[in-house]
Amino acid sequence: MHLRFPAPSLILLVGPSSSGKSTWAAQNFREGQVLSTDQFRAFVGTSSRDQRASARAFELVEQLVAERLDANLVTVVDSLALNREQRERHIAMAHDRGLAVFAVGFDTDPKLCRERNDAQGRPVPVGVLNRQLKRWPVVRDVELHEDGFDGVHVFPSPPRVHLVPKALAEAPDRANGQHTDPKPLRFGLVLSVFPWDADIMGPKIAAIAQRAEDVGFDSFWVMDHLRQIPQLGAAWDSLPEGYTTLAFAAGVTERIRLGTMVTAITYRNVGLLGKMIATLDVLSGGRAVAGLGAGWFEAEAEGYGYEWLRDGARLDVLEDALQALPMVWGPGSKPFSGKTFDLPETTCYPRPIQERIPVLVGGGGEKRTLRLVAQYADATNLMGDTARVAHKLDVLRAHCADVGRDPADIEVTVLASALTATDPDSLSRRIAELDTNGDPEAFAARSGAATTEDQIGRFRAYADIGVDTMILGIAGLEEPDDLEPYRQIIEAFA
């Protein structure tokens, strides 16, 4: 069992002296996350037991609580918290900032509290401890439940803590809903980082693509960038060319769909691009997906000698390509004349195996990109939390209504980070292995880290708003076995 708390949030430890609060806090939180009134008494008084320094210590604690909450940091207050006014001030501080606040009560046997206190070098006076022990049942049984906490947890010895991103607060309930009343959802894997030496890169990519297929991923994607993007690494990090990589993956897999996430449309002659995708479709037995976008990485384009067009001009090229590619893949060899380029002949042999290669357009631009999806695409790829995606889908539906298209004909895909492990302790260890900045909560949020059950709940929320496919990027993916925890997630939505 673990106590779940959203990160960030405020956690107040409540209980008499020597009930175990400080020991538990040290075992479950990093040093900077815990604000101890005893420690601050030592800072402004003669020792941690200097009661004359209490008022000043409390002032300092409250100042730091406010600063940490303003910075959206997990904050634990280690004090007696038997004073109701002090608790209410902390509750108001958290709620004023839109953060949850929890009480963890230490219902330790009074005899044990006295024994621990007696063993201290400078014990709390017996009369003071007795008054705390007398007040504790009223706080435990009545006041904590009336104070306005978002959750109250009282234990003789509280269990370990599991910090989760705020977005996962409702994940357990949603996961239960998926198990009892399942909804379908497909999953894709995007491989964006290639941390292997050149002599083993091919075997590693092959093994990961094969395991992805075995685990149950429906599609396998690679970025179509010419160098690594700043969000994921340095420009000199290895990044194999996208379509060559997909062709290689086609040769070692049998079922999984293959596509780029996504091709910047100005990087290739559109006729040649159509030929490349058609060839991929033929060699893979009809598994190609055409992932297309307007592009965004100006420094990359200029580094490779491409002219960087303004946003509207790149979207003009994308619109022409969306019209031209079905002609390239279709029968005959009619000429195409567009706003930005011409193809005197739309010739492509062999023809694709699929009657229509699915076209996915990446990007959530509301005025132009989503309208292009409504007009031409078979799938849209979006990013963001469920609220953001739901808004984008409302915009897409409006465009579909305007052009007379059924939005149900468009596959909705979402690109998301998703690091997972089977249980909280395993997840914490994995985060510790990968987090280079020593900020596990921030890393968890960036990498979409969650247990398999929480991921099921997280993805159920996307299924509920109409998403068909989650395309997952996985931090630290280096070995095929890293994909095994995702089998349970995919099976839950099969």
Question: For residue 374, how many other CB atoms are within 10 A of its CB?
Answer: 23
Taking the C-alpha atoms of residue 493 and residue 486, their distance in angstroms, rounded to an integer, is 11
Q: Specify the pLDDT at position 41.
A: 80
Q: Specify the pLDDT at position 235.
A: 94
**Nearest Cα residue to 290 out of 322, 254, 314:** 322
pLDDT in tens, 342-366: 999 999 999 999 999 999 999 999 9
Q: Specify the pLDDT at position 53.
A: 67
Q: Classify residue 319 as exposed, middle or buried by CB count within 10 Å of its CB (0-12, 13-18, 19+).
A: buried
Q: Specify the pLDDT at position 50.
A: 66
Topology classification of domain 2-168 = Rossmann fold (3.40.50)
DSSP 157-222: S--EEEEEEGGGTTHHHHHHHHHHS----EEEEEE----S-HHHHHHHHHHHHHHHHHHT-SEEEE
- Ranges in the chain, pLDDT < 50: none
Q: Specify the pLDDT at position 46.
A: 72
DSSP 287-305: -EEEEEE----HHHHHHTT
CATH superfamily membership of 171-492: Luciferase-like domain (3.20.20.30)
Taking the C-alpha atoms of residue 159 and residue 101, their distance in angstroms, rounded to an integer, is 18
Contacts of 49 (CB under 8 A, 6+ apart): 38, 41, 120, 122, 123, 124
Contacts of 369 (CB under 8 A, 6+ apart): 294, 315, 361, 363
| Ramachandran region, residue 216 (left: φ > 0; alpha: ψ -120 to 50; beta: rest) | left
Domain boundaries, the chain: 2-168, 171-492
Q: Specify the pLDDT at position 185.
A: 98
Q: Specify the pLDDT at position 73.
A: 95
Q: Specify the pLDDT at position 242.
A: 97
pLDDT in tens, 154-211: 999 999 999 999 889 899 999 999 999 999 999 999 999 999 999 999 999 999 999 9
pTM: 0.92
What's the one-letter identity of residue 480? P
Q: Specify the pLDDT at position 37.
A: 87
Bridge partners for 187 per DSSP? 470
**Nearest Cα residue to 451 out of 408, 494, 492:** 492
Q: Classify residue 90 as exposed, middle or buried by CB count within 10 Å of its CB (0-12, 13-18, 19+).
A: buried
Distances (CA, A) of 157 to 246, 251, 348, 428: 53, 56, 71, 21
